[in-house]
Structure 1
Amino acid sequence: METVQSITILDKVFSDIYQIKKYCSKILAEAKIDERLSPENETFILEVYKNYHPKGSNIGKQCKGIFVRQPENTTIRVFSMLYKNGMEFVTSIKKCFQTELSYISDVFRGEIHPEMTRFKKKQERADGTFICALSGKVLSWQDAQVDHFGKMEFKDIVAAFIKDNEPGAVKINEKGRRQFIDREYAEDFIEFHNSKVQLRILDIKINRNIKYRKLKELNKLVMSLRRR
């Protein structure tokens, strides 16, 4: 049986992290500038920071209260934590959701997984090996990865799609994989993805480094692989 995945924070249940972000934004928008949050909202925001902020529970350990501030000459609202030592620390709620696109991307990636597998199988040579598009190295199935490249990488395709198509609720299917409940929404994404995508086969070592290395460093890696 398929079950809808949910996230519970205190007494509130959310379909996914995207809905948690919306609720935090609602608290921020409805609060009065320079006033302290209600005890309920304060506890909720602290729990969000505890579970999702990169610094975890450390960020609110000595917190005495949370206020909403508006930096001078801006229309931006931010949460500001007042600590027991009298210092006030402006915190970015966005940092709690830097994983949001990653989380949603994982769901989208799962939806297009069959497409990626089909592409990979088409690139497989008669002897069961693959050729890395950058290094020219012969790869096994395990060492060959499908990579998005060109004008739009996978994250760009996802960002472009959700700009006009807000992600809906996610469920866990019978295989234990996350997928969108609205299957028409998923199919629309697959069609959008296929209209924008450029794919290639890369050595897993290059693919893992390409996101973190500068082009010069990547070129060195490619050359070292060619010399093997």
Structure 2
Amino acid sequence: MITVHHLADSRSQRVLWLLEELGLPYEVKRYERDPKTMLAPPELRAIHPLGKSPVVDDGDIRAAETGAIVDYLLDIHGQGRLKPAPGTAEARRFTYWLHYAEGSAMTPLLLKLVFSQLPKRAPGLMKPVVNAIAAKAQSGFVDPQLKSHVDYWDAELGKSEWFAGDAFTAADIMMSFPVEAGATRAFRREDKPRLAAFLDRIHARPAYQRALERGGPYAYG
């Protein structure tokens, strides 16, 4: 039985979704964030030294990092599903988006989250200064970077219905988090109809809905 060490409101939700798409039996060991710091609980350090999620146990195999977990599950349990045929143009796009999702895409999204939270956590007398610094960092660097990425996603979905081509793949599962987070931090759905349509398509998938039932309520904040 596959066990997913799942942190509430984290990117590990994608692993549950992939397992549902593959129809694999699994159990969820759920961890809650500290309500004040929003950090993972110390119990996760017993599973992985960094105390991060997702982590997957499959027999005596333990896999961490979402992209690596996706690679592992498709390689061992996928039977050729949810990825293009090797050597094709779609396969090259698949590999690119699989790694881009946790590489280039997440950096500006994380910076946006950090700078938006800084003023809220600053001591009272420091709030005006911290707010000014955070606002300058966002307007001068983070927001322009995010716009470039969002425009890029939107343009790519103008080439095909899904990120790796005309068929839904695990690359779309990986890209779901950046696009979901982008919709709360970087763009309005009405301004990016192709990205909005992508979100509507993934939300309508039964496996996506089953994963939410298993993983619990989810906020992209």
Q: TM-score range by the shorter chain?
A: under 0.3
If each structure's strand is expressed as a fraction of its own residues, which one has the higher value? 1
Higher RCO (Cα < 8 Å, 6 or more apart): 2
| Structure ID, larger Rg | 1
TM-score w.r.t. the length of structure 1 is 0.27
